[in-house]
Structure formats: C-alpha cells, structure tokens
Amino acid sequence: MITITEKAAKHVATFLAKRGKGLGLRFGVRTSGCSGMAYKLEFVDVANPEDHVFESHGVKVLVDPKSLPYIDGTELDFVREGLNEGFKFNNPNIKDQCGCGESFNVQ
Amino acid sequence: MALLQISEPGESTAPHEHRLAVGIDLGTTNSLVATVRSGMAVVLSDALGRPLLPSVVSYRGAGVVVGHEAQAQQSVDPKNTIVSVKRFMGRGLRDIAHFESMPYDFVAAEAGAEGMVRLRTSAGVKSPVEISAEILKVLRARAEAALGGPLSGAVITVPAYFDDAQRQATKDAGRLAGLNVLRLLNEPTAAAIAYGLDNGAEGIYAVYDLGGGTFDISILRLSKGIFEVLATGGDSALGGDDFDQRVFCWIIEAAGLAPLSAQDARVLLTRAREAKEFLTSHGEAPITVRLASGEYVDVKLSSTVFAEITKTLVQKTLSATKRALRDAGLGTDEVKGVVMVGGATRMPQIQHAVGELFGQEPLNNLDPDKVVALGAATQANLLAGNRAAGDDWLLLDVIPLSLGLETMGGLTEKLIPRNSTLPIARAQEFTTFKDGQTAMMIHVVQGERELVADCRSLARFELRGIPPMVAGAARIRVSFQVDADGLLSVAAREQTTGVEARVEVKPSYGLSDDEIAGMLKDSFTHASQDAFRRALREAQVEAQRLLEATRSALNEDAALLSAAERALIDDGIIGLEAVLVGDERHAIDEAMAKLNLATADFAARRMNQSVQRALSGRNIAEMES
C-alpha cells in the first residue's frame, strides 16, 4: 500500500495539468546508487497490466510488482526545505540510506 | 535528504546525476532565475519569497551587496551603487548617452576611446562585466540553494539587438560568476519558448517587451524550429517608470502641491507606482499621503484619467512597433501572435492598445515579469540533456547582422550573411594585392552596408609570413566560425606554407541602441547609393592594380619599348591617375581601357621574352623531362 499526502497530491495534480497528459505517478526503485537502491519517480503515460495502482486524494500512484516489496507502506510527501522543494518518501522498509537520501538499503 | 522531482517516463536519472540547469533573465531593472522542476518551468524566489532581484550592485568599502539591499543604498551612496549596469555592457564611454549626468565615476579604457568603460568604486575600478557577475553570483547561489546542488549549466538571455561585444561581455560575466554558460538566448525568443510557440507553431510573432526602463519590440519568424529575428526596435529610455512619473506629475497638479523635498518626492513616486499597479485590477485608485512638509494629499485617480495622461507613452510604443513591422516588410495582419513581456504590460490600456493594433488578443496568461526567465529555463533544461522523448529538437538562433571582412578599397566582403542559423562556419580564399606582399591585415566587420566605413569594426589582426610572390598568387583562406551564442572566431591561413593567424572576437566597444537599430534600416535606404559606391570602389581598386602592374613591368622591361610606345603608356598612366580619385566610374573604366590597349603589345613582348629566357640554354631532352 502506497499513500500520498494531500499536499503532495495537489502538487502532482498541478504538474499533470500543466503537462497536459498522464495517468498519474510511477513510483518505484532501481538497483543503483551508492546504497544499493534508488527511487524513481516519473509521470505515467502508459500503465502496465501488472502494475499495482494506489489512489489517494484523487492521484493514482502506479508501482511495478518488483518494486513494491521495497517501498510498501511508503507515504509520499511534498515538502519545502529552505529554498528547495520536492518529494520526500517516508519508507518504513529502509535500513539505512546514503547521506543524499536518493539511495537506500532495505532491511 | 534530497528531494525528488518527477521525471518524464523512462527519464529518471541515476542518483547524483541530476543535471541542474537554470535560465537567467539578466535584466536592466530586475533579474530572475528559473528552472524546470517536475516538467514545469518555475521561477526561483529568494528566502523571503521575492522572485525579482533588482539589478543593483552596491559596493561598500571592499564588500558588495546586490538586489534589494543595494537598492536601499541608491539614495545614500549613488556613486558606489550601480543601477542598470546592462546599459554599459560591451560599451565604450562615448556609446553611453548622458554619462555626464550619471552619478558614477567613469574610467575610459586605456586605448583612447576604444574598450569597455569602467567605473571607479570604493572596491576599486570595476568593469560592467564584473558588476554583472555580482548579480549572477547571487542568482547562482539562490539556484544552488533551491536545487540542492551545483549547477551544470545556465542559459542567459540578452536583447535581440545586442551585438557581438555585448554578447561576449554577458558571457564573460556568466563565466566570472562561476556559471557554465550553455548559451545566450535572445529575450524575445525566450518569451516565445515560454509560450510554447516553438512547438510546431510556424509563422510570424511579435514580442512586445515593456520593462521598467526600456521598451523593445521584436518581430520573429519561426520556421522549422528556427527563430529568425526579422526586425527589432524600441526605445531604450521608455518603460514602466515613465508611467509612474506621469502619475506623479498628475498628483502634484491635482493636489496643488508646492515643489517637494527629495524625501517627499520619493514617497509620492512610490504612491504613484502603487496607484498604477492598483488600476490594473480596479477602476479607481485612491491616493492618500501625508507629506513631511505637512501637506495632505487625498486624490482619486480613475483609470480613464490614467489612460489619458499616459496616452503619449503608449503611442510611442505603438509607433516603434509599426516601424519594426515596416522594417520587416510586414503588415499587422501577417502577425500570428503577440507575446507580452515585462511588468508594465499588465496595464490594461497597453493590453488594449496592442490588441487593437494587431487585431487580436495578445498572449498574456504567463506572468510578464517571468516569461523570459521561464523560456530560458526550458531551453537550459534541454541543453543540459534533460530531454523528454520526442523533445530532441534544438532551438536555433540566427545572427542579427552580417559578418565579413574588409577588402581593398574599403569594401566589405560578407562571409556570413545576416539571418544565417547558428552555429555556422564559412571560409573563403583571398589573395595578395601587391607583388612580394608578405603580410595581410584582416579587418573583421559586422553590418549590412557595402563600405567598411559604414559597418561596425569588430577586430583587426595581421597574417605575417606570407612567402613573397607576385600579386594574386598567394592563397589565403579566411574562415569565420560563429558558435551557438553568436560569438565569432576568425582564422586566416596561407595555403602553401600553412602560416596561420587567428582571433577570437573580443570586440572593443559597442554601438548605441539607436545605431544598431539604425544599421539595418540604413542598409535598405542606402542600397542604391551603396551599390554605386561599391562599383566605384571596385573600379578604383582594379585601376590601382593595373597601375601597379604597369609600373612594375616598366621597371623591369622598359628596354623593350620604343620612345613613342613609352610615351603612349606614360600618357595612359597619367590619364588613369587623373580620374582615379574622382567619382566618375565610367571615366575610370575608359582610362583603364586606354592603358590596357597601350600596354597590350608590351605585355605580349614581355611574355615572349620570358618564354625565350626560360627556354634558352636548354636542350630538347631537358625540355621533355
């Protein structure tokens, strides 16, 4: 189960509207990065039949079955830190992550 | 922890490989920085949420402040507080209008009037490049804080009419600020990109840019992903500030105020600006203020009155717009869309007037203050390699004025014609004019006119070490290369020996806005006169070449001539010399024909003699080998 905060959902909706197309967000992991795994966050134009689809606050989040074990239970949030802003993940599966936060390891 | 942005499908970058790129609108009055986040171009604000950075730099002792803080210093320390430094970029002192009335301590460059002007400040003598770099440094720091990492590159915008000197200065300022300048982009082109006009919308577009202190109108043609600047125009001393001034004067009159103190004038000017901005969304603006003089102002400015008192200003922009259209040879009905740029275009009377002129609603749904920066960010994002599938196009710009070099007689030989798409390289072969000539001066010029004197001089350099040969035998290949930013490098190479000389054009100083705008127009109005002068100069050069050749032949082989023949040739020389300096092209042609006739036998005899010399003393075997 993947959830998305209301604030993040609002931003996603804005981005999608601006982009003019897209079914929602694809959230997943890839094996790369300094701690083994890296998140990927992309717009979705084509859904795959095996995708898990989670919907909250009107935004669809698609996750491929291979990624799900690593990120199940994650909440997507949109935060502002100083001048920077973007998506942050509260992932309960993380054992440790590299300082940059873009890459992580699971338990 | 890093914050993630949404990528296009399949475009997720590996960690630490996000290529952070920004677009920078380095404006006369305000500057902005923008980037593309989650597929959307956004302007980055400072810690206080302010998107605009006033383009003001104030030196305090050896230190420096930029932006709002510097703006506050303007009345306290005008000499060390530089506003509108963009007007000095790539300019010599004599290019700057009314420099004597400015509060700055100008330092003319050493080499006489050539070279960029400098300003003496408390932190030492500073060039406009260094001052602009201070503005860029602040924007860079803002962007790096907002994006959470070092920038991989930036696109900086420049006015379409900026010449090579001004573009080079802008690029230098970017480098000085530690930016990797991916390219410079014309401001109107950036605005057009922000509106997405580059995506398949072919046709003619007008970009109406009314900023704080400057007005620019550009006519662009977009075809096959190439933006061509057909014409530019404007007024470098007309902007939103003039509208404030009109309201200010109206308040004084309406409230019957006595002459104001400097402090009261400042307060009132601020109120005037607020009233102007209020009228954008209201029909009437109340202006109430108690002045230090004790006087109380309480007046109401209606939008009708506001439109009335600023009518001449609006009219001025429309005249410049019509002029630019005329230069481009276009009617208003041929313009497919009008893009509004600059905060002052929010004024309803301007929207209305422009809409009426073009017979269509102008594009204004993007923030006019931000539109140039947004377009630059879009372009920067592409150039940095963050492309979405199908977005593999690259926007091309064109060079605004032809590039060429000076040939004998002060004529321009254009190597790269105006409106060529960038980047471009062209080469052409030239030769020597005199026997035994061992050096050649390469004079690089920019402009549309036929004579060098009417064009702008960009650089001069000398190619030395040409082996002595007869005139016309040396082959010197001159190549011009213009990179994607419109910056030029020139190389000259003698083909037999390979000796080479080159120059990166760091032009000495620029032209005034009016001169640049005028250059294109001049090339049309003077077309027939130029054609005449070119033909005349060509005849003169040809005549000189003939005289040169005849004299050198006489030096060597005068013995081949009878006294009568010699007299005839001398007559011909005198006759040609007499008409050479005049402007009678036909007289020159006739005198040349006469001299040619007089020397025809002489030439034949010399030819025979040299053949005999070459053959004598040789046997058949040698001849055949």
**Mean confidence (pLDDT) of chain A:** 81
CB contact under 8 A, A102 and B2: yes
Q: How many CB atoms neighbour CB B583 within 10 A?
A: 13
Q: Which residues contact A70 (CB under 8 A, 6 or more apart)?
A: A29, A37, A91, A93, A106
Q: Which of the pair, B18 or B131, is modelled with greater confidence?
A: B131
| Residues forming a β-bridge with B258 | none
Report residue B31 as tokens: 């500057």
What pLDDT is recorded for position B161?
81
| Probe site for chain B from A5, A11, A43, A103 (most B CB atoms < 10 A) | A43
Say yes or no to pLDDT of B517 above 60.
Answer: no
For residue A85, which residues of chain B lie inside 8 Å, CB to CB? Answer: 3, 37, 146
Query: Which residue among B6, B7, B15 places its CB closest to the CB of A34?
Result: B15
Contact A87 B47 (CB under 8 A): no
Which residues 418-447 in chain B show a CB within 8 A of chain A? Answer: none
Q: What Å distances lie between residue B591 and B233, B548, B549, B555, B600, CA to CA?
A: 46, 15, 15, 21, 14
Q: How far is B419 from chain A (nearest CA, A)?
A: 33
Task: Give the pLDDT band of residue B136 (cuts 50, 70, 90).
Answer: very high
Q: What average pLDDT does the segment B129-149 reach? A: 93
Residues of chain B in contact with residue A12, where contact means CB-CB under 8 angstroms, are 6
Residue B461 corresponds to which tokens in the numbers above? Answer: 């350099």
Summarised one tens digit per residue, pLDDT across range B437-460 is 888 888 988 887 788 888 878 888
**Cβ B39–A43 below 8 Å, yes or no?**
yes
Residue A51 and residue A13 in contact, taking contact as beta carbons nearer than 8 Å = no
pLDDT digits (tens, 9 = 90+) for B564-616: 888 888 888 988 888 888 888 888 888 888 888 888 888 888 888 877 777 66
**Which pairing describes strands A3-4 and A24-30: parallel, antiparallel, or unpaired?**
unpaired
| Distance (Å) from the alpha carbon of A2 to chain B's nearest alpha carbon | 16
Neighbours of B541 (CB within 10 A): 16
What average pLDDT score do residues B350-365 get? 93
Q: Quote the percentage of chain B above a pLDDT of 70.
A: 88
CA atoms within a 13 Å half-sphere pointing along the CA-CB vector of B402: 20
Mutation pick from B1, B5, B18 vs chain A, by most beta carbons of A within 10 Å, is: B1
- ∠ CA B148-B152-B156 to the nearest 5 degrees? 105
Residue numbers in A near B6 (CB within 8 A)? 12, 15, 25, 41-43, 87
Sign of CA dihedral B4, B6, B9, B13: negative
The pLDDT tens digits for B27-44 are 999 999 999 888 789 999
Of B7, B40, B147, nearest to A84 by CB-CB distance is B147
Give the model's confidence band at B392: pLDDT under 50 very low, under 70 low, under 90 confident, else very high.
very low
Contacts of A19 in chain B (CB under 8 A): 39-40
B113 pLDDT exceeds 60? no
Is A33 close to B15, i.e. CB distance below 8 A?
yes
- pLDDT at position B625, please? 44
Q: Does B14 touch chain A (CB under 8 A)?
A: yes
Strand, coil or helix: B372: helix
Inform me whether the pLDDT recorded for B513 exceeds 70. no
Chain A hits for B146, CB-CB cut-off 8 Å, are: 82-85
Contacts of B3 in chain A (CB under 8 A): 79, 81, 84-88
Which tokens in the block code for residue B545? 């070449």
pLDDT for B201 beyond 80 = no
Of A34 and B33, the one with more pLDDT:
B33
DSSP structural state of residue B332: G
Helix or strand run (H / E) with residue B349: helix B348-358
Nearest-angstrom CA–CA distance, B372 and B179: 19
Q: B543 pLDDT band (50/70/90 cuts)?
A: confident
Give the residue from A83, A91, A105 with the most B CB atoms within 10 Å of its CB, the best one to mutate: A83
Q: Is B80 helix (H, G, I), strand (E, B) or coil?
A: helix
Mean pLDDT of A67-80: 86
Question: Each residue of B297-337: pLDDT tens digit?
Answer: 899 999 999 999 999 999 999 999 998 998 888 999 999 99
- The CB density around residue B560, as the number of other CB atoms within 10 Å, is 17
Res A103: pLDDT: 62
Phi, psi of B263 (to 5 degrees): -70, -45
Highest averaged pLDDT of the listed ranges B59-63, B158-162, B215-219, B378-382: B215-219
CA dihedral B427, B433, B437, B439 (to 10 degrees): -40
Percent above pLDDT 90 for chain B: 30
Q: What distance in Å separates the CA atoms of residue B64 and residue B122, rounded to the nearest whole number? A: 10
CB contact under 8 Å between A42 and B2, yes or no, is: no
pLDDT tens-digit map of B457-499:
888 888 888 888 888 888 888 988 887 666 788 888 888 888 8
Is any Cβ of chain B less than 8 angstroms from the Cβ of A30?
A: yes
Cis peptide before B423 (omega within 30 of 0): yes
Distance CA B238, CA B442 (A): 39
What's the CA gap between B123 and B115, in Å, rounded?
21
Identify the weakest region by mean pLDDT among A38-42, A74-78, B213-217, B348-352: A38-42
| Residue % of chain A over a pLDDT of 90 | 14
Strongest mean pLDDT among B107-121, B284-298, B338-352, B380-394: B338-352
Contact B238, B214 (CB under 8 A): yes
- The per-residue pLDDT of chain B, averaged, comes to 84
pLDDT digits (tens, 9 = 90+) for B32-77: 999 988 878 999 999 899 999 999 999 988 889 999 999 888 888 8
pLDDT surpasses 70 at B528? no
B119's CB contacts (< 8 A; 6+ apart) are B82, B88, B104, B105, B106, B107, B125, B126, B127, B128, B131
Chain B, 130 to 169: residues with Cβ < 8 Å from chain A are 142, 145-148
Work out the pLDDT band at B510, boundaries 50, 70, 90: very low
Looking at residue A35, what is its pLDDT? Answer: 54
Strand partners, B26: B31
d(CA B103, CA B221): 41
CA distance B290 to B197: 49
Tally the C-alpha atoms within 13 A of residue B400's C-alpha that lie toward its C-beta: 30
| Closest-CA distance of chain B to residue A52, Å | 17
